[in-house]
Amino acid sequence: MKTPYRILTLIFILIAGLPASGQKLPANYGNIPDELVAYDRYMKAYKYHFLEPMKFYGAGREKLPPTNLTEVRIGFLGPLEGSIIQDLGKQMLQGSILAIEEANKKGGYKGTPFKLMIHNDVGLWGAAANEVVKMDDEGVWAWLGTIDDINSHVGIRATLKLEIPNVNTGDPDPTFTETNIPWVVRTIPDDRQSSYVLVDQIFNKDKHNRVAVIRANNRYGRVGTLHFNRSATRIGFPIIIEERFGDGETDFTAQIERVKKTSPDAILVWGNAKESALILKQLRELGMNQPVYGSDRMVNEIFLKTAGDLAEGIITTCQYNPESNDPKFRAFKENYTKRFGQDPDVFAAHAYDGMNVIIEAIKKAGLNRALIRDVLTDLKTFQGYQGVTGPIVFDGSWNNIRPIYLAKVSNGKFHFSPAPKWEKENVIYKKARMAYQ
């Protein structure tokens, strides 16, 4: 009599739209608003990808844990020296250190202390893979990192070959988890969501229709703005010009002059904090007073100090709420500030959560990489896990798709509010739909 019941269960799962893990599938992959699904007004896709988690069928779960360890090693890879984003890497390291220290005060792993094996992401092609190989030699059970998009991609190719679990807490590249590597999870929401929120704010809420983009000439800028550009086009407002700048550049006159000739009514800047602030200042110096929007890396003291009063009214996004009154977050912020003498940023907070996820997985699975991987990627274990940055809501590619926040500068500081959801029948969409039909 068991077989009919199993068949009925499977039928129920199919009808309810639920996978066997019990996780409710999102309506669209990557939280894509209905209005922005490609070709959705014409026909439905024959197949949707990245909805079901990749399985790992390899060996390794049978390996017995070592019995003579004096420390349980966890790897860290981040830009600490020789990188334009080393201030972000420092925050990520400090968040990881705090999580390790707190875990050791609670007894570590069955009385054995955790130890962080620190590696520098120098930003050179292939170097990240070499650091992951070194971690393998050190005997780490999992590793956390990194931030740079290209190096993150390179690092997880090595982690696939070496079969070391990886938790990424800093790379927002939408394609990162689409590699379908079953040893990798990401706990920071990606730039896909930031793009959708900015499109909604710029075109639907603020009623702009001629938008120029000035972005970093690297993967962070290219992939970060990809879904913004596509989504703007789908609702009838393609970007009128896209200008690029290099890391460390300080004179943006040529790019701004070209943008000025197109007469935009709003400008999106996508890059690191310092360059974004300098672009804002030079836009104003050259007489361009249009509203300016930005990427999440603007949410940084460097941006506020460099831009000064010109930062007032700037709107961007943030992957969590740094003004949260959640007791867990407030305790983390107080402990972090006391330990390191500065407020935590988005990379510190997500690294703290990510390291705690690794620690919890090790405690639950034991000292076996394959079993740790099983716990990290099991949607039942960490689905809804409440960290200091908010919940983990994994999709089928182990990408955290929890809602993000809008950030707006007022009185010299960023203030945060939940990003509004798209409305199916907003006015802008109606106009665009009529134009396309």
Alpha-helix residue ranges (DSSP H) falling in 200-326: 219-234, 253-260, 273-285, 301-307
Check whether 214 has a pLDDT greater than 70: yes
Dihedrals phi, psi of 169, to nearest 5 degrees? -125, 10
Report the candidate in 339, 333, 224 with the shortest Cα–Cα distance to residue 272. 224
Q: Are 393 and 83 in contact (CB under 8 A)?
A: no
C-alpha torsion sign, points 172, 135, 131, 348: positive
Average pLDDT, the chain: 87
Is residue 146 reached through a cis peptide bond, with omega within 30 degrees of 0 on the bond before it?
Answer: yes
Task: Give the separation between CA 379 and CA 270, rounded to whole angstroms.
Answer: 33
1 has a pLDDT exceeding 80: no
State residue 167's pLDDT score: 97
Domain boundaries, the chain: 72-189+326-391, 192-318+405-436
| Confidence at residue 149, expressed as pLDDT on a 0 to 100 scale | 86
| Beta-carbon contacts of residue 362 (< 8 Å; ≥ 6 apart) | 72, 74, 109, 141, 142, 372
Phi and psi at residue 133, to the nearest 5°:
-60, -40
Residue 6 has pLDDT above 90, yes or no: no
Question: End-to-end alpha-carbon separation of the chain, Å?
Answer: 54
pLDDT greater at residue 14 or residue 231: 231
Number of H helices, E strands in the chain: 14, 14
**Contact (CB, 8 A) for 164 and 140:** yes
- Segment 329-360, tens digit of pLDDT: 999 999 999 999 999 999 999 999 999 999 99
Instruction: State the pLDDT at residue 26.
Output: 56
pLDDT at residue 35 in the model: 79
Measure the CA–CA gap between 334 and 354, rounded to whole angstroms. 19
CATH topology of domain 192-318+405-436: Rossmann fold (3.40.50)
Residue closest to 89 by CA, chosen among 122, 126, 61 = 122
**Percent of the chain whose pLDDT exceeds 70:** 89
Q: What is the pLDDT of residue 383?
A: 76
Q: What confidence tens digit (pLDDT) does each residue in 279-319 have?
A: 999 999 999 999 999 999 999 999 999 999 999 999 999 99
Could you give the 3-state DSSP secondary structure of residue 2? helix
Q: Which two tokens stand for residue 134?
A: 């070194």
pLDDT bucket at 423, cuts 50 / 70 / 90: low
Position 5 scores a pLDDT of 42
Ranking 133-147, 402-416, 420-434 by mean pLDDT, the lowest is: 420-434
Beta strands (DSSP E) in 62-179 are 72-78, 114-120, 143-145, 166-168
Task: Determine whether 89 is exposed, middle or buried from the number of CB atoms within 10 Å of its CB (0-12, 13-18, 19+).
Answer: buried
Task: Of 4-8, 23-27, 173-177, 432-436, give the lowest mean pLDDT range.
Answer: 432-436
- DSSP assignment of 137-171 equals HHT-S-EEE--SHHHHHHHHHHHHHHT--EEESS-
- Torsion over CA of 135, 136, 137 and 140, rounded to 10 degrees? 70
pLDDT exceeding 90 applies to what percent of the chain? 69
- For strands 143-145 and 211-216, give the pairing: unpaired
Domains 72-189+326-391 and 192-318+405-436 share a fold: yes
Which pLDDT value is given to residue 123? 73
Top-tier CATH class for 72-189+326-391: alpha beta
pLDDT bracket for residue 53 (50, 70, 90): confident
What does the pLDDT look like over 85-130, one tens digit per residue?
999 999 999 999 999 999 999 999 999 999 999 999 987 777 899 9
Which residues have CB under 8 Å from 331's CB, separation 6+? Answer: none
pLDDT score recorded for residue 27: 67
